[in-house]
Structure 1
Amino acid sequence: MTPKQQERIKNKIKKVKAALAADKRFWGGQYHDGHGLRYIPPQLYIELNDYTGGLRYFNWFHKNFPDDSGYPDFLFEWTIILYKTGRLKEAEKKAFETFCSNTYLFDNFFERQVTKLEKWEGSNLETQEFVDNQFSYSNKQDNLADFSEWLDNFITAEKFILLSNKYLDIQKRLKVEKDTETRQYLIQHERQLVNEL
């Protein structure tokens, strides 16, 4: 990447931050961000290989949008940045959150055959079409070679396989379960899975 290209990306980040600051002023000290600008910077930080800057951004994001679970690719970018800054335990948890937000995303990243699962799809973001049309990362990217190796080792480890199977079992049960109390119990159990890492 040339210095000019780097400068253009840095300017994009500045523009997004300025727009978010203006949004906060407009809404009287609260962020509204109806256009989803807050999801743009992580990809730009990764393009720059500025993982420390990306981590600062995610710290800001978590502070200002604590209830925002993010989109699958956003969570994936968060995982990359946590890994690249040496926060491996946090990266494991975020990788599992990423898997839970889109069970097809890792297969897409590794360019593996994707098989649609008979499970409850909590939103249209979990469909394969979303991955095919929106996801822009590949295990073949040079700057992600070390991350790809780490992720592959993580998702093939026994603890991830065990937890992902539990998650998928819950999703399969949610697809057919009609009883409200049982569904609430399953969803509560699903939320606790990340704490088992």
Structure 2
Amino acid sequence: MITFPDTEKKIKGRISAYKSALNKELKEYDLINDRAGKRYLLFSLYFVLNDLKKSEKYFEWYQTVFNDDVGEPVQKLCWALSLYRMDRRKEAQYMLADLMLSNLYIIPQLLDQPIEKYDIWQFSSDGDMDYFDYIPDEVLSEVTVEDMNWIKECHDSFMFQRIRQRYIKIYGQLKDVKDAAARKKLLNESYTLLDQLSPEFKPGISG
């Protein structure tokens, strides 16, 4: 888990160091491995800094360099809320839904709602119930009442409920389906669930 810088100056220094390391790797190897996940941690750092202009610039760079990256839940939370604060509502809604599908438990935990354990297939530990513990306290403390109201409004909406219920049904079936063709059909459907929100904005695919 990240040890968060305790001052604005240190946050900016950490951002600069991470970006320099990523750009150096890109320049030397024409690709970025980033096993440490610096590209994701930068979303948390920018969110706590709340510099929307620099955040937006980093998001654009990330989408260019990591255009097929699946991402991870904490990154998606920070990304969704940053987009919401930028008044890019459709993209924010899409990213929040992507967070929801990457981890079904984080949003209910944020909203202090009862948690239901789903009997479904998971492709990675990113979907674990206790992944919430990986969200830095510094990030959680920057989530405002307005942010929470928007998250709840989206999460409780008919569209989000329909997407969520279908996702749970698909991944419940995947737990038992062994036939490769049948699994592929189910997975392909799951990859299109977010298309009903904002199909032109696709930073990655959950599941």
5+ long unaligned stretches in structure 1:
none
Report the TM-score, using the length of structure 1 for normalisation: 0.90
Displacement of 1:142 in angstroms is 5.5
Residue 140 to residue 184, structure 1, CA distance change in 2 (3 Å) = closer
Alpha-carbon displacement from aligned partner over 1:120-175 (angstroms, at most 9, x marks no partner): 1121121113223x123699745522111111001111111111111111111111
Distance 1:109 1:68 in 2: 25
5+ long unaligned stretches in structure 2:
1-5, 198-207
Contact persistence 1:111–1:138 (CA under 8 A): no
Alignment of 1:17 with 2:19, yes or no, is yes
Alignment of 1:76 with 2:77, yes or no, is yes
Which residue of the partner structure matches residue 129 of structure 1? 130
Which residue of the partner structure matches residue 49 of structure 1? 50
Residue 103 to residue 48, structure 1, CA distance change in 2 (3 Å) = same
Distance 1:131 1:122 in 2: 17
Contact persistence 1:20–1:33 (CA under 8 A): yes
Alpha-carbon displacement from aligned partner over 1:51-80 (angstroms, at most 9, x marks no partner): 222121111101001111111111111111
CA root-mean-square deviation = 1.9
Q: How does 1:18-167 map to 2 (within 5 A)?
A: 18-27=20-29, 29-132=30-133, 134-136=134-136, 141=141, 143-167=143-167
Kindly tell me the number of residue pairs found equivalent between the two proteins: 192
Distance 1:87 1:56 in 2: 14
Distance 1:69 1:161 in 2: 22
Residue 34 to residue 136, structure 1, CA distance change in 2 (3 Å) = closer
Displacement of 1:104 in angstroms is 0.7
Partner AA of 2:106 in structure 1: L
Residue 8 to residue 37, structure 1, CA distance change in 2 (3 Å) = same
Distance 2:46 2:36 in 1: 20
Give identity over the alignment, percent: 26
Alpha-carbon displacement from aligned partner over 1:65-97 (angstroms, at most 9, x marks no partner): 111111111111111111111111111111111
Residue 45 to residue 127, structure 1, CA distance change in 2 (3 Å) = same
Report the TM-score, using the length of structure 2 for normalisation: 0.86
* Larger relative contact order, structure 1 or 2 (CA cutoff 8 Å, min sep 6): 2
Contact persistence 1:110–1:139 (CA under 8 A): no
Distance 1:12 1:139 in 2: 15
